[in-house]
């Protein structure tokens, strides 16, 4: 089963993707994580996208489609993919459709995680990530453990805030979402693939709503 988690920054896509990985043995493909990894390892591409990402703008379709193509054609046998933060433009959505068709696969569901803008700002400015495994924490709903040991990977880890998780970049990211990504809601609705989930529920409730949409 291949699914897309669609929604604005801070809707909880990464958190729910991590749960689906644990519960269903699926593979999370987050273009944001891949781009951050490219930056950390200092590749040419990583250097090229750094400023664009920090400003909160989208990197080119060509780069992210290339990243996804590379992963999908790697030949690994998996239970299914969770596309997290991809596609973000209509061109990316078309490319993903073509790529899956090429591989004889289908897109089974697109989950739209709906959260209002005010909640997004509050969530994002409270967010931090385990530097070891990428598990997402939130100062209010899921604080960093007092002993500094990540509840996901068990490592005594550093917990970092993303460079683009600030109010200025967030404004640009929200604009990018509404201008470039939100047309995908209509696109997938017209294809009968879309299920809407209230992303303001608790993490467990959101997970249950997603499970229902996938059943
Ligand atoms: P994310 O972790 O999904 O919030 O992505 C962080 C940043 O990476 C975004 O603000 C963009 O600059 C870039 N990015 C991630 N995925 C994409 C994508 N599918 N298309 C274009 N840019 C992306």
Question: Residue 178 carries which DSSP code?
Answer: I
Q: Could you confirm whether 162 is annotated as catalytic?
A: yes
Q: Could you confirm whether 173 is annotated as catalytic?
A: yes
Q: Could you confirm whether 161 is annotated as catalytic?
A: no
Gap from CA of 146 to ligand 1 centroid (Å):
31
- The closest residue, in CA terms, to atom 15 on ligand 1 is 32
> What is the predicted pLDDT for the residue at 118?
87
Q: Could you confirm whether 88 is annotated as catalytic?
A: yes
Q: Are strands 109-114 and 3-6 parallel, antiparallel or unpaired?
A: parallel
Main-chain phi, psi angles of 4, to 5 degrees: -115, 135
Residues with CB under 6 A from ligand 1: 9, 31-32, 35, 52-53, 56-59, 64, 85-86, 88, 92, 164, 173
Percent of the chain past pLDDT 70, that is, above it, reads 100
Q: How far apart are CA 54 and CA 105, in angstroms?
A: 34
CA distances from 127 to 35, 91, 120, 191, 210 (A): 19, 30, 10, 34, 22
> What is the predicted pLDDT for the residue at 212?
97
Gap from CA of 199 to ligand 1 centroid (Å):
20
> What is the predicted pLDDT for the residue at 134?
87
Confidence of residue 159 (pLDDT cuts 50, 70, 90): very high
pTM: 0.91
Per the CB < 8 A criterion, the answer to whether 4 and 111 are in contact is yes
Ligand 1: which of 5, 31, 123 to mutate, judged by most atoms within 8 Å of the beta carbon?
31
Confidence of residue 76 (pLDDT cuts 50, 70, 90): confident
- The closest residue, in CA terms, to atom 11 on ligand 1 is 58
Q: Are strands 159-160 and 127-130 parallel, antiparallel or unpaired?
A: antiparallel
Q: Which residues contact 173 (CB under 8 A, 6 or more apart)?
A: 8, 9, 56, 164
Per the CB < 8 A criterion, the answer to whether 65 and 83 are in contact is no
Q: Could you confirm whether 212 is annotated as catalytic?
A: no
- The closest residue, in CA terms, to atom 1 on ligand 1 is 32
> Does 36 sit behind a cis peptide bond, omega within 30 degrees of 0 on the bond before it?
no
């Amino acid at each position: 089963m291949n699914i897309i988690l669609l929604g604005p920054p801070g809707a909880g896509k990464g958190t729910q993707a991590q749960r689906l990985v644990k519960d269903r043995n699926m593979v999370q493909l987050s273009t944001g994580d891949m781009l951050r990894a490219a930056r950390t390892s200092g590749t040419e591409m990583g250097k090229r996208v750094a400023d664009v990402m920090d400003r909160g703008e989208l990197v080119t379709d060509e780069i992210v489609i290339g990243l996804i193509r590379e992963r999908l054609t790697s030949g690994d046998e998996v239970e299914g993919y969770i596309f997290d933060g991809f596609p973000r433009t209509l061109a990316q959505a078309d490319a993903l459709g073509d790529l899956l068709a090429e591989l004889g696969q289908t897109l089974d569901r697109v989950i739209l995680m709906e959260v209002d803008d005010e909640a997004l700002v509050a969530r994002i400015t409270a967010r931090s990530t385990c530097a070891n495994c990428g598990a997402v924490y939130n100062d209010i709903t899921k604080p960093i453990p007092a002993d500094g040991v990540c509840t996901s990977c068990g490592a005594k880890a550093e917990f970092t805030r993303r460079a683009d998780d600030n109010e200025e970049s967030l404004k640009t990211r929200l604009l990018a979402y509404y201008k470039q990504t939100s047309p995908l809601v209509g696109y997938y609705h017209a294809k009968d693939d879309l299920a809407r989930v209230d992303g303001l529920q608790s993490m467990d409730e959101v997970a249950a709503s997603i499970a229902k949409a996938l059943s």
